[in-house]
Structure 1
């Protein structure tokens, strides 16, 4: 009753009529009638219920925050996987294939475009690998042609520092030089071709199956022709 005697409003932590801890809120009514009757308003709310409500609110807020974090993490992971992890995986696959001698001819352009069409650093790496693969594939074609004794292939080095390109170009030029000299010389003065070049151009047949020298190389003497497992060179005359 001491609270009512103050003639003010407020709240205080106390006990309700059942002896349970509660928050008591009180209010002194205004007006002449209220003062003459000395009526007062008072309400209480048990602390246990208040704490339970606050705990529920806290749990709901925490669950909402965790759900938002999970959704954000999932979206971020998808973005990172699509924009970084997957392209880097393709580049790594290219590098591993090249390291094993596989020139990734079976990789589709659609898969390559996932890297090389990007307008960022990863795209630049993909474009560099694409040029490297094209270069290595070109060198592979040139090497196959040379191995098959086809010296009509053209090898153009990409720069003066292109070791493979310069080596293949020199190899083709050195192998083709005897034939060019012989072809350009007058027929009556055809110079003899080197023994190694004649040996390189023999048919892959045993000696007793070889055609007469006149049908193979008219300028070569029979004692210079030997069997070789290589195919004959093909020339553009």
Structure 2
């Protein structure tokens, strides 16, 4: 699949471009130890750094990046971003805007004095026919001071303007700079056709295969990674 990103010509060499998830693994993952001593197990055990599903999820799809530094403090968001003249009169110029709290009233996101921000988009995204775009909080990134609100957009049809990404500002104690290039949304194409759910009782052969694989997993580490994991091809 080709995923086509477009922006105002005046911004083409200004904006940070969306990047594959594999290109933005956080520093804490790079620095964390692959094994740690466990009081429960009385031995060293593998950390999530050696868990392929954990890491592969973070490498999935592509990331939309914050286009400029945003300073946060005392409940205020400020930025100093000089943009050239743009070719479209309704195009945003601010990196973020805001929603009123009433828009999430009755949801688990709502709490007293919640700040509902909206990351404005400067790229349009076009997908192949019959595919939609799933946008989620950057996967396993609980370190970020906001939580993106998940959404799906039919980007094979809706691609003439950018997608904006709403989020709840979750870290009320955060004070400092959210730097340019911070991942704000992790996105990946999903088929719009609903899957068919099939349910079966295991056959004798499937039960034997279950026990065989389970015994291999219990006997030694790395079975999934070495024998079943598909090699990721990165751009």
Q: TM-score range by the shorter chain?
A: under 0.3
**TM-score under structure 1 length normalisation:** 0.22
Larger proportion of strand:
2
Indicate the structure whose relative CO is greater, using CA pairs within 8 Å and at least 6 residues apart.
Answer: 2
Q: Which of these two proteins has the greater Rg computed from alpha carbons?
A: 1
